[in-house]
Structures are given as C-alpha cells and as structure tokens.
Chain A
Amino acid sequence: MSMKQVDENKQNDKKKKSFLSLLFANLFGSKKELSIFEEEQVQSPWRTVINTFKSNKVAMTGFIVFLLIFSIVMIAPLVHPIDLSFSETSQKDIAPGFDMMALPDAILGKVQDIGVGPTFSIGASTDGKVYIWGKTRISSTIDVKNYPIDPATKRPVDMGNVVKVAAGFDHALALNDEGEVFAWGNNRQKQASIPTELKFTKDIKDIYGGYQSSIVLTGDGRSIYFGNTMNNDYDEFHPYQGQLDKIAVASDGLIGLTRDGEVVYLGSQINAYSRIPENMGKVVDISASAVTMAAVNEDGKVFVWGNVTKSKGEGNVPETDSKIIKIIGGRYHYNAITENGDIYSWGSNNYKQSTIPQKVKEADIVKVYSGYYQNYGIASDGKVYTWGLKGYLFGTDDLGRDIFTRLLNGGRMSMTIGAVAVVISTTIGIIVGAVSGYFGGKIDNVLQRISEVISSLPFLPFAMILSSLIGNSMTSTQRIVLIMVILGLLSWTGLQRLVRAQVLSVREQEYVIAAKSLGIKEKNIVFRHILPNVISVILVSATLSFATSMLTEASLSFLGFGVQAPHPTWGNMLYGANNSIVIQNYWWRWVYASIVLGISVICINLVGDGLRDAVDPRSQER
C-alpha cells in the first residue's frame, strides 16, 4: 500500500462531512458503496435514468445553471417589466458601470458648483479646480474629460480659478473668476466655440449648457447664445436684452426671468413654451425640464407649462408644507426646495430620479443640482448626497435602452419561442413517426418522402424566406407566433425518424400483439401502448431540439428575419452589432447577449447529452 492510498483511506474513515460536501452529494448524487452481502434495490427504469443522470456531474451542472437562467428570465420580467416604446437619445451607447454620480474624492466637502449632463457631471471646487466624472465619452473621438487644448502650446488650457460650471448635452462649460468662459466637448454645432464678443465682456453672471447650445448671461442682463440655431428657438435680438436676471434652458427653447420678476420667452416662434401662464405675479425662480418650463412666484406657487405630458407628470406639483422658493429641473422631473429646507420632487420616475431617499430628507440640504436623471444635494456640512440614475449594469444600446432589462425580457422571449417551437415539432414528429412506423406501407412511404424533402431543404434560408414572405404584413406580435410555427414546421423530421424506428422495433413485440388480439383500437395501441415505450427517445430529442430552436431563432433574429424590434430576444439584440464600430467601441452591446445565449444553449445541450447517456441502456452496463 503506497502512502497515497493510506492517505485516501484515512480520508474515507472520516465520517464527519462538511455541509458543502453533503449539499454536493445530495445535488449531484453519490454512489453508495454496497457490501457483497447486500443486494441492490430493484429500481424502476425511470429511477435508474434519473439516478444515472444525477450522477453525471457535467450534465447536472448544466441542468442547474440552465434552471437558474430559466427561472431568472421567467420571473424577473414580472418584477422588471419592459417598456417597448422606450427610447432615450441622451442615454445611448453608455458603457456598463454605476459611476455616473461618483464624485471624485478631491471635490467632496468643497463643492462650489455642479453642472449635470446626460451621463457625466462637471464640478468646481471651492478652490477653483474643475472635476469631471461619470460616463464622459461622447463618441470614439470626443471625451468631455479632455480639457480644452490651447492651440499655441498644445497643452490643456489653464482655466484659472473656476467659479461656475455647466454641462450641455455633449459639451461642458466653465467660468473663472476673471470672467473668462471655457467650453469643450462636442463642437459640431459650434456649441463649444466661444464667440469673440465674449472676449470683451468680463462681467459674466452665469453660464448655461443646453442641447447643442451654450448660453452666457452677462452681468448687465444680456444673453449671448452660441451653438445649434436650427433646433433651438432663440432670437438674438429679443426685446429683453439688458433686463435678464436668470435663464432656463429646455432641449429646444429658452425662457428668461427679468429683474422685475417677469417670465419672458427668448425665441421668435409661437409655441408651447411661449404660451407663458398669465397672472403669475412676481416670479422668483424659473427652471426647465427637457420639454417643459416651470416658474415659482412669491407665494410659492409653481406653474408648469410647455409640452407637459401626463405619463411623465411634470405638471403634478405636490402639496408642500411651506412655501417653495426654488425649483430645479431635470430631464423630465423637477425638484423644489421650500423655505424650511425640505425637498420635494415630482415628474417622471423611471430611474428613481424623483424619489428622494430618506437620508436626503433627514439631512439639511442647502443646495440641489439636478439635470437629466441625476440629482446632487449639498448638505450644510458640505456632504454630497446623490440620487437618481447611477448607471447601467450592462450598459445601454443605440436607443438608450437598458441592456440588462432587455436581456431579461429577451431571454423570456427566446426561451418561449424555443419551447413552443419544440412543442410543435415534437407533436408533429411523434404523430408522423408513430403513424408511419405502425401502419407502414403506402402511408409510410408518402410520409417518409415528405419528411425527406423537408429535411434536405436548407433550414436557415427557408425559414428566412418563409418568415419574410408570410410575415411581410404582420404585426410584430403575429410575427413572433409565425417564427415559432416556422421553426416547428421545419424541424420535426429528425424526431419523426427516431420515433418511427423505435415504433418499428417494438411493433412486433408480444405486448402489442396482445393488445391487438384484445381488440384495442389501433389509435390507442399506437399512442397508449407503444409511445410510452419510446418516450425516453422523445425526451432526449426534444431537449436537444430546444437548443437548436433557440439557436435558429437567434440566427434568424440576428439577420433581421425573426423577432423584430422593439421586442427583444437574445438574437435580435445583436442585430446592430455586425459592424466594426460597434464591435470595437460598444462591446457591451454584443458581449452580454452572446454570453447568456451561449451559456444557455451549452447548458441545454449538456442536459440533452446527459439524458441521452442516461437513457441509453448500454451506458448502464457494468
């Protein structure tokens, strides 16, 4: 006996088993050692199959992983429903991670000003330094993190002592204590090109960033606008130049607040923004969301106008205990601060941006910065509280949809389609195989020829052609059903052949002859007496064809002939991924869907293989 064997024996003697090993043994099954005098218990064939399957560790692992994925994608969409019509340009192609509101340590406790962009934020500290955090990459070449470059020295400009910052849709602005304005980021619409007249104006009161636009408010009450003039309605020669005290910027228009407390529209068109409510009295603060404007008057009454929608609920101003003195707009929500220092929030809440956490309610918040879906609350002790959209677990796609949600819902769709297709193909396969095998003769011949032709047709091209010919004028829901039916109708031939062979082999056995001589109907002989004996073959085949159906659905959807957007499946989530820009820059748009699809199908195939081994009588030879 070698040392190793002695060691092993010692280990075997240990009767104490850890919880983990017991769990493992129960999950995967462990062979009990029988002594020579004991007799093995007689098992039913199904018991044996189950036991053999359980003792196959690989198959069992696959089974458990698959069950996990399956239950997650079946249950999670109930908790996490998907809004099929959702799309949000400000949130497109965002990398995974929850760092959108992760302020750098250096600015904590000394926040001077914060500007909030769609996915990034810019902050100025009390000592005049600028910090940028969040998802700062706008495109493959533009990153807001890169400070403006001085053309002379080719090095980042020294901005001096920055006192105010602002973030636009894809650019950022900063103002230093000498009245100098800096802008950087996307400059396609010249929103980051400082106009020359600003170089002579040193008295600057505030800066604002909008959608492809920047606005500077001077100390003498004038507004200076640069950026996209097509999308934003702005009249450079509006009659209120020289009277403005504050400006609020929506995504396509802007309003101003004059020194007399009157709200004025700064564009030339007549639109929802220009229909400013009358009799507001003396207005003390104004703000804007993406599509609405809001104003609060001396009495603390809030007015909201513009393109107010019920679903977003920007107009549902809550009752407050004390007078509202300040309002701050996000993308589709508003925050308000009252005299008592309480914060109220209303409007769209899809990212929990208008749900104020308990911690914030308890803290003594003196200043709130909001924009898009993020909120920053600065407490009197300098502590920064954040709430709203922190980021996305798996990133977002080209329409700003959360990939994680789509994966969950897409998984349910993929699995459902696979399952229904298998049910269809299995039913057809069983019926055709059984009939063909039992009756033989001409029926058999005809059925076999049909099956031969169908099985030799190239699968994918035919499924494609069928789905695009028949599904041409269908709604997307009808199309889903169509895909299931096509997959089912084209993939029954393999099972049919198996069932037929099995039926042929049991047809002449005694119990069938006995049944026949008892005068049992032929239909019942086939489906009640013969089929139960071939069920194991069917089970294996159904499992494996579940995997194939899921794969085919994925391929079809990937090519654009399967389930179509906005319905997600794991296949069509990869639809837009076959160009090198997406492959390289937006890897999260294809990696996660590929991984879950791959793992699920691998697991199903492992289970199918394990089942086949378990069912195969030869594998039980000893």
Chain B
Amino acid sequence: MIKYTFKRILYMLFVFSIMTVILFTLYGMIPGDPARAEVEGLRQTLKPDEYEHAYQLARQRMGLDLPKHIRYINYVKGLVKGELGQSIVYKMPVSKVIITPLKTTIFINIFAVVIGLALTIPLGIRTAVRKNSNFDKAVQVLTIIGHSIPVFIFSLLFIYAFSVKLGWFPVSGMKTANFKGTDWEAFLDKVWHLALPLMVMTIGSLAGLTRYIRAAMADALSMDYIKTARAKGLKEKVVIYSHAWRNALLPIVTLLIGWLMSIFYGSLIIERMFNLNGLGKLLIESLYNQDYDVVMAIQLLYIVIALLGNLLSDLSYGIVDPRVRVNK
C-alpha cells in the first residue's frame, strides 16, 4: 500500500512537471511584454535613452533575454520557493493575491458540499429503494430539470424571487458595507449574504449526484446477494445500508472525491453572479485584465487539486473495495 502510494505520488510529480512545461510554453506564446508594461509609465518622465536603459534593466531583471529552457528552470525554482509571480493589477506577489479569495471560496463551498451530501445521499438511497414509486418519479423529473438548467439561470430566478420581489436577501456581496458589530453578528451577516448563493449552489449540485447515487444503488439492489441477505431474514435497514450501500459506494467514490475537490472551484459562476470575492471571480477578472501570472497560478492550483483528487480516489478504491486492495 505504501509502495503503491509512493509510486502514485511520483507519477503525480511527473504529470505535474509535464503540465508546467505545457503551461509555460502556452503562456509564453501570449503576445505582450511585461518589461515594457512595467516601464511604460516612465516614458513621459524620462529621456528616450534613459527610458530605453530602464527598459533593458527591467528585461534583465525579469530574465526575458535568457533562452527559453533557462527561463523555465528559473520559473520552476521560483515555484519550489513558493514564488508564483507578480500580479500586474494588484502590484503584489500572486501568492498574496490568491490567499483571501481562496479562503472565501473554500468557506462557501464547504457549506455547499456538506449540505449537498446531507441531502443527496439519503435522497438517492430512498429513491433507489422505492424505485418506480411516485416519490421516485417526482424526484426523477425534478432532478432532470435541475440537471438541465444551468446555475446562472437558477441564480437569476432566485435573485428575482427572493432579492428583488420579496427582498429577503441581499442581491450581491459578502457583507454589509461598514458593518459594525460583534464577531457573532458579523458571522450572521455573512451567512445572511451567503444564504442565496448557497441555496442556488446546493440546488444546482443536487440533481447530478442524486441521479448517480440512485443508479448505483439501484444496480446494487438488483444483485443476487441482496436476495440472499433478504432471504436470511436480515432487517431491511441492514440490507440497504450495510449490504447494498457498501457495494453502491464503489462507483460513487470517484464522483464523491471529484465533488469534494470542487470546494476549490465549484462556485465560479455563483461568485460572478453574486459578486463574491472568491477564486472564481479572481480568475475571471484576471482573464479580463490579462493578469496572466495570477491565471497561471490559479491554473496550477487546479492541476494540483485534480492530481490530488486522482490519488485520493485511487486510494479510496482500496479502502472501499477489498478486491482492489493493492499491493503492487
């Protein structure tokens, strides 16, 4: 098991380094000159030759004249030290720019994932157990609708209904401007602001997972060992939760891990709709502003998360399914 994990981690590092090469070349192809951008403001104040000198200095400092592979190595060295580059818009290191939005995104998404899991798993199991009942059919129709309507349309509807018409929740933002109060009141204020986005996110994510869990569970319930378990006279609860659910978990695990991983990026559209200062909004704004160091850092983060997710699901297979307890 340890050896397998070790192997997987090595493989992860390999993939990651390939990805950085690809990204580095991709971002290198973007037309634009960061050194020129930096000294552009001095053009009016300096004489032409002084300006040219400043420009050359900037190029040297940024290492733009070095050959590509050396620049790449420098970049990787920076990465190892945790230097992700400099944001053009915020005029500070990318790692500092990213940290607050990342926290916000995780904060929002953890809520959504927990609420989502708490709703979808029981719902999926219930519908699979009572397959073809009216309840099941109703849930099926609702989930198809939920699955088919994009999150931003839900957001529009919810904003229209709850913010504009009823006025229960604020239209956008994370907190009341100039809010004064105790920490607890500040927290309540935050929850009040986040209620609508969270509602939309939960509804948006319910459908897909519920359908998936139902399918997996229905498959498991149609197996012969369920008949055996029932024939043994086991309680229905035991049959469902112990015998069927454990087997149904197998196909669900990948999806669940993917879902857990989505706490880092799942709220992209929501953040834009509700103007929440999260990672997704930062990404969109950086793309608009062509602040590519920030974009690249966020992209690297996503890749790391994706690889970690892969590793996690591989390992969890071993935990869930005794047949794949690997000892390669």
Give the docked Cα–Cα distance between A472 and B11 (Å). 33
In the complex, B197 has a CB within 8 A of chain A: no
Q: Which of A456, A461, A583, A606 contacts B258 (CB 8 A)?
A: A456
Given A578-B273, A580-B164, the answer on whether A465 and B295 have CB atoms closer than 8 Å is: yes
Give the docked Cα–Cα distance between A336 and B262 (Å). 67
State whether B15 touches A461 (Cβ < 8 A). no
State whether A578 touches B306 (Cβ < 8 A). no
Q: B222: nearest residue on chain A (CB-CB)?
A: A618
Residues of B within 8 A of A555 (CB): 150-152, 269
In the complex, A574 has a CB within 8 A of chain B: yes
Q: B258: nearest residue on chain A (CB-CB)?
A: A456
State whether B160 touches A598 (Cβ < 8 A). no
In the complex, A590 has a CB within 8 A of chain B: yes
In the complex, A469 has a CB within 8 A of chain B: yes
Residues of A within 8 A of B150 (CB): 551, 554-555, 558, 597
Mark each residue of chain A from 566 to 591: 1 if its CB lies under 8 Å from any CB of chain B, else 0. 00000000100110100110010010
Give the docked Cα–Cα distance between A578 and B197 (Å). 13
State whether A461 touches B310 (Cβ < 8 A). no
Residues of A within 8 A of B268 (CB): 460-461, 559
Residues of A within 8 A of B171 (CB): 580
State whether A472 touches B148 (Cβ < 8 A). no
Given A453-B307, A458-B262, the answer on whether A469 and B26 have CB atoms closer than 8 Å is: yes
Give the docked Cα–Cα distance between A577 and B148 (Å). 20
State whether A606 touches B307 (Cβ < 8 A). no
**Beyond the given A559-B284, A560-B284, A602-B148, could you list 18 further A-B residue pairs with CB under 8 A, ordered by the A residue number?**
A453-B15, A461-B280, A461-B298, A464-B283, A465-B295, A465-B299, A468-B287, A472-B290, A560-B288, A574-B156, A578-B273, A583-B159, A584-B160, A584-B164, A594-B156, A601-B149, A602-B144, A606-B144
In the complex, A457 has a CB within 8 A of chain B: yes
State whether A580 touches B159 (Cβ < 8 A). yes
Residues of B whose CB lies within 8 Å of any CB of A are 11, 15, 19, 26-27, 30-31, 141, 144-145, 147-153, 155-157, 159-160, 163-164, 171-172, 222, 258, 261-262, 264-265, 268-269, 272-273, 280, 283-284, 287-288, 290, 295, 298-299, 302-303, 305-307, 309-310
In the complex, A473 has a CB within 8 A of chain B: yes
Shortest Cβ gap from A78 to chain B (Å) = 28
Q: Which of A558, A559, A578, A605 contacts B147 (CB 8 A)?
A: A605
Residues of A within 8 A of B298 (CB): 461
Give the docked Cα–Cα distance between A452 and B30 (Å). 28
Residues of A within 8 A of B27 (CB): 469
State whether A583 touches B265 (Cβ < 8 A). no
Given A452-B310, A601-B149, the answer on whether A590 and B156 have CB atoms closer than 8 Å is: yes
State whether B310 touches A469 (Cβ < 8 A). no
User: Can you spell out 27 A-B residue pairs with CB atoms less than 8 angstroms apart?
Assistant: A58-B141, A453-B19, A453-B310, A457-B306, A460-B268, A464-B287, A465-B287, A465-B295, A472-B30, A472-B290, A547-B148, A551-B148, A555-B151, A558-B152, A558-B269, A559-B284, A560-B288, A578-B152, A578-B272, A578-B273, A590-B153, A594-B157, A597-B150, A598-B148, A602-B148, A605-B144, A605-B147
Give the docked Cα–Cα distance between A257 and B283 (Å). 61
In the complex, A511 has a CB within 8 A of chain B: no
In the complex, A561 has a CB within 8 A of chain B: yes
In the complex, A439 has a CB within 8 A of chain B: no
In the complex, A609 has a CB within 8 A of chain B: yes
Please report whether the interface of chain A is mostly helix, strand, loop or mixed according to DSSP: helix
In the complex, A17 has a CB within 8 A of chain B: no
Residues of B within 8 A of A449 (CB): 11, 15
Residues of A within 8 A of B19 (CB): 453
Residues of A within 8 A of B31 (CB): 472-473
Q: Which of B11, B157, B302, B309 contacts A461 (CB 8 A)?
A: B302
Residues of B within 8 A of A465 (CB): 283, 287, 295, 299
State whether B303 touches A461 (Cβ < 8 A). no
Give the docked Cα–Cα distance between A469 and B32 (Å). 12
Q: A466: nearest residue on chain B (CB-CB)?
A: B26
Q: B151: nearest residue on chain A (CB-CB)?
A: A555
Shortest Cβ gap from B8 to chain A (Å) = 11
Residues of B within 8 A of A473 (CB): 31
Q: Which of B148, B159, B160, B284 contacts A464 (CB 8 A)?
A: B284
State whether B160 touches A587 (Cβ < 8 A). yes
Give the docked Cα–Cα distance between A505 and B163 (Å). 54
Given A453-B307, A465-B287, the answer on whether A601 and B148 have CB atoms closer than 8 Å is: yes
Shortest Cβ gap from A66 to chain B (Å) = 12
Q: Which of A458, A587, A601 contacts B302 (CB 8 A)?
A: A458
State whether A559 touches B269 (Cβ < 8 A). yes
Shortest Cβ gap from A309 to chain B (Å) = 36
Residues of A within 8 A of B152 (CB): 555, 558, 574, 578
Q: B172: nearest residue on chain A (CB-CB)?
A: A580
Q: B19: nearest residue on chain A (CB-CB)?
A: A453
Residues of A within 8 A of B261 (CB): 456
Given A554-B150, A590-B156, the answer on whether A561 and B15 have CB atoms closer than 8 Å is: no
Residues of B within 8 A of A554 (CB): 150
A residues 504-553 touching B (CB-CB < 8 Å): 547, 551
Residues of A within 8 A of B164 (CB): 580, 583-584
Give the docked Cα–Cα distance between A443 and B287 (Å). 36
Q: A551: nearest residue on chain B (CB-CB)?
A: B150
Give the docked Cα–Cα distance between A580 and B162 (Å). 12
Residues of A within 8 A of B149 (CB): 594, 597-598, 601-602
Residues of A within 8 A of B155 (CB): 578
